[in-house]
Chain A
Amino acid sequence: MIEIINLSKKFGDHQVLDSMNLDINKGETTVIIGRSGVGKSVLLKHIIGIMKPDSGQVFIDREDISRLRGKNIVKFRLKFGMLFQGAALFDSLSVGENVGFSLFEHTNLNKAEIYKKVKRALQLVGLEGIENLKPAELSGGMRKRVGLARAICRDPEIILYDEPTTGVDPIMGDAINHLIRELHDKLSVTSIAVTHDMTSAYKIADRIAMLYQGKIIATGTPDEIKNSSNPVVHQFITGSSIGPITNN
């Protein structure tokens, strides 16, 4: 369903993605793990097409998203929902206007109909009756869940999660992991999450891929990754400060 082929991206002299390859299967949750600054967010932004690659392709359902322009890209974007690391809620809008944003912008539904869908999306993430609050009035965990509600409000086929559990307390983190699993089971969406939180990765992943020095160096089921013989993967998942990652 999603094929990433020889994708490269450089910022200045810094080669962030270095002809990397990855296939993502329909209906699965794929978790991409890697250290901070390795390029996980950059990778997600290439998948949704808001960054353009230096070279290489990202195919979504056989279409190269980096080549799309204008109307076609709008149609394509509506297949996606994305949860940003800091939630990226629009400060000037209420929670309800945030969650229903693309319905307000891209459909002719009236306010009552939109708010019905907003309410359903908020219920899915376990929130109720906060439509009229401003994002500034919410706690970190609530912001993430509102961001998630905004991502799923239009029933996307693909959901991207950028570090869904970073910056929230462990209990809220677990609740978010449950939520991601639940959305996957209920809506049968294809999900891609990036994280450095291994607890979360094991909980939500059907498949795990590790990004290191611009390339995917290992993929497998959570069990395969747990028992990986690759020393880099082993160091990362055990969270050790000694090993090949820190030696060079």
Chain B
Amino acid sequence: MRTHLENTGKKLITLVSYMGGASILLGKTLLWLPVPPIKRKPIFGQLYKIGVQSLPIVSLISLFTGMVLALQSAYQMQRLSAEMYIASLVSLSMTRELGPVLTALIVAGRVGAAITAEIGTMKVTEQIDALETLATNPVRYLIVPRFIALVLMLPLLTIYSDMIGIIGGYIIGTYKLHIAHNMYMKMTYEPLVLKDLVTGLLKALTFGIIICTVSCFEGMRTEGGAEGVGKATTLSVVISFIMIIAADCLITALFYFAFR
């Protein structure tokens, strides 16, 4: 009983100190964010890596998700002869939920892992120490450009993902289920209100902050050579995924109960 309590206590302490460490890193990032001079070149480099290079995979997954959503709901809706509601279902699910969450999971796997591996390698090969000896703050030099890029790009990618998902639904809806073009478009836009878009974008912004903080924190605390980098990278993706889903739940609940 006692050891059980001790173990639970230890795990709790680890969790709290992890959250504390990550929050401190986020705080430092926010403090360095507005400090001039702000160099454009590294920010554009990250915008390209994080945003542009994610387009193909985001397109692919969003298109298929939109198509599958339409097909799956077709079973139910056809029975009720309410096929035109498929359009609304796809557009609402994409903008509120799937667009932001899928995009965030893709970016966490693609970009978050790469950030952890890169910063982690720099840590174990003493490049982070070298930055400091050259009087350069690692948070400012490494993390701030990634933070700006993630926080800008995730909402943009999310809007893009919403659109591609809706196009996927449209393809199935009009070509396969023979819903008229005008009807499909009407039913796509009609139920959408500003709140749906705002919820989606707020989620995207939060996920961007989560991905940046977790992947950079894991990178900065990497220890133990190449093996350590591998472990940190895996952990970074797993923790990002969990935090993204948890935050998604929280924000959805918040909007459901607080801003009806």
Contacts and interface: CB of A to CB of B under 8 A. Distances in A.
A150 B127 CA distance: 13
B129 interface: yes
B130 A102 contact: no
B135 A88 contact: no
B125 A82 contact: no
Contacts of A82: 130, 133
Contact of B136 (A92, A105, A150): A105
Most chain A CB within 10 A, of B121, B122, B134, B141, is at B134
Interface string B113-129: 00000100110011101
B126 A86 contact: yes
Contacts of B136: 101-102, 105-106
Nearest to B121: A91
A78 B134 CA distance: 7
B129 A91 contact: no
B126 A88 contact: yes
A89 B128 CA distance: 10
Nearest to B129: A50
The size class of the interface chain B forms with chain A is 10 to 19
B129 A105 contact: no
B135 A102 contact: yes
Contacts of B118: 92
Contacts of A92: 118
A92 B129 CA distance: 16
A219 to B, nearest CB: 25
B132 A101 contact: no
Nearest to B132: A50
A77 B134 contact: yes
Contacts of B133: 48, 50, 77, 80-82
16 contacts: A48-B133, A50-B133, A77-B132, A77-B133, A77-B135, A81-B133, A82-B133, A84-B126, A90-B127, A90-B130, A90-B131, A91-B122, A101-B134, A102-B136, A105-B134, A105-B141
Complex A-B, nearest 8 residue pairs according to Cβ-Cβ distance, in ascending order: A77-B135, A88-B130, A88-B126, A102-B134, A82-B133, A74-B135, A50-B132, A84-B126
